Amino acid sequence: MPDIEKNTTYYDIAIIGGGIQGVGVAQAAAAAGYSVAVFEQTAIASATSSKSSKLIHGGLRYLESGQFKLVRKSLLERERLIKLAPGLVKPVAFYIPIYKQTSRPAWQIGIGLFLYRILGSFKKYTQFKRIRVSKRKMLPIKGLLSNDLKTVYQYYDAQTDDRLLTQAVMHSAQSLGAILYCPAKVTQLDFKEGCYHIQTKGMSSVPDVIAATFVVNVSGPWANDVLARITGTPVETMEYDLVQGTHIVLDAAAPEGVIYVEAPEDQRAVFIMPWKNKTLVGTTEKVYTGDPARVTATEGEIEYLKKIYSYYMPQQKVNVTDTFAGVRVLPKLESSLFSRPRDTLLHDSAKNLLTLYGGKLTSYRATAEQVLAKIETQLPARKPGKKKSTRNIHLV
C-alpha cells in the first residue's frame, strides 16, 4: 500500500462503470484477493449492458470478418456461463432460413456453422443440422415466410436477461468483498504519491477521501470523458465511434426459437427472438453523435425493424409495445461498422490506469481475466490464500 493521508479510504483497484465489463473486472479482482471499489453514476446495468439483444452467443456473423479469436473465446465462455448461471443463461435453438434470394448460399452457411463447431471445441451446444423443406413437412418456425424457402439450418446459442446477469455478477463481486458506490459520479482523479485520489458526487455516504493504486476505466461511451478528468499524469485517449443499436418489442406470440434473418433491403443480420412471452426484433447499427444518456429509438429504425418482421412473419400483426436503444463503442476506422473489431480493446491510458473500449456481453468474464493478467505487476501483493477463479463461481 502506498503512503497516503490518514482518514483516507484505500483500495487496490477502483473501477469506474457498473456495466457488465466493469462488474466482471470487480468480480475477478475481488476473487483474486484485491480490495476493490466500483463507482457507478446511475445504476448497475443502466446503459448499454441492459440494451443488448439479450444473447449469450459466439458471434457466428463475426466469422465473415475474420474475428476467429473472438468467436472461439465467446463460444467457450457461452458454454461456461450455461453451467455457472443456469438460472440466468439458457440454451436456445437458432434457425437460419435460406431463401432463393438470400445473399449467402446454403453451402456457405453450412461451412460457417461447421467452423463455429470447431472453434467451440465440439462441445454440446455446437451441434447443428440442416432441415430440408418440403410441402409434406411442417416449417420449423410457425408463421415463417415459406415462399422461395429452400432450407433451414438449426444450431444453438443462449439467451439471458442482460440486466439481471450484470446485477448477479455485481452481487457475486460484493460477496467476495468488493464495495459498490452508487450513484456516485467520479468528477476528478488526481494521481499523486503513487495512487489516484478520487473525488465523486451524487452519494452522501461516499468517504470524503478515496484513493486507489490502480484505476480501471470501464465507463463505456463515457470512457474519454472520464479520462478528461485526470490530473497529475499524462493521459492518452483512443478515438472511437458510438454505434446505436435499437430493438423493438412486439405484442406477438413468441417464436419457438431465435430466427436469424437477413434484412431484405441491406442484407444485415437481424434477430427475431422470444422475449418474456412476446417477440423481440433487433438490432440496427448506425453511428450516434449525441449524448449517450439520451439515446432513443428513431422512427426510421422502428420502421426498418417492423418491415423485416412483417416480411418474414407475414401472418403476424405488428403491434409495437416497447422500444429500447443503446450505444456501443467501436474503434474509429475507415472500414464499415460490420467489419470493425468487436472484442474489448485494453488501452494503457495513463500511469496505473487501464481503459476498456467496447466488448461483448458473452465474453465479459474472460475479458476480466485478461485485465487482471495485464495489471497484476502494478498491484500490491495479495493476502496469502485469498485467490479464487471466476471459472468456478456460480451466479444466482
- The CATH number covering residue 44 comes to 3.50.50.60
Domain membership flag for residue 93: yes
- The dihedral built from the CA positions of residue 185, 331, 74 and 367, taken in this order, carries a sign that is negative
CATH assignment of the domain containing 306: 3.30.9.10
Q: Residue 85's pLDDT band (boundaries 50, 70, 90)?
A: very high
Average pLDDT over residues 224-241: 96
Same domain assignment for residues 34 and 171: yes
Average pLDDT over residues 244-264: 95
Domain membership flag for residue 392: no
Residue 5 has pLDDT above 70, yes or no: no
Q: Which of 125, 157, 189 is the last residue of a domain?
A: 157
Same domain assignment for residues 229 and 373: yes
Domain membership flag for residue 137: yes
Please give the pLDDT value at position 142. 87
Q: Which of 157, 191, 223 is the last residue of a domain?
A: 157
Residue 215 has pLDDT above 90, yes or no: yes
Same domain assignment for residues 126 and 207: no
Average pLDDT over residues 344-356: 96
Same domain assignment for residues 196 and 62: no
Same domain assignment for residues 63 and 152: yes
Same domain assignment for residues 181 and 40: yes
Q: Which of 110, 128, 157 is the last residue of a domain?
A: 157
Same domain assignment for residues 132 and 270: no
Same domain assignment for residues 99 and 186: no
Domain membership flag for residue 135: yes
Number of domains into which the chain is organized: 3
Residue 373 has pLDDT above 80, yes or no: yes
- From 131-145, 260-274, 336-350, the region with the lowest mean pLDDT: 131-145
Same domain assignment for residues 179 and 308: no
Domain membership flag for residue 69: yes
Cα–Cα distance between 110 and 120 in angstroms, integer? 15
Q: Which domain holds residue 303?
A: 240-331
Please give the pLDDT value at position 6. 65
What's the pTM value of the predicted model, to 2 decimals?
0.95
Same domain assignment for residues 223 and 252: no
Same domain assignment for residues 72 and 149: yes
Domain membership flag for residue 391: no
Please give the pLDDT value at position 237. 96
Same domain assignment for residues 169 and 40: yes
C-beta atoms surrounding 167 within 10 Å: 21
Average pLDDT over residues 44-63: 95
Domain membership flag for residue 100: yes
Please give the pLDDT value at position 315. 87
Please give the pLDDT value at position 209. 83
Domain membership flag for residue 53: no
Residue 3 has pLDDT above 70, yes or no: no
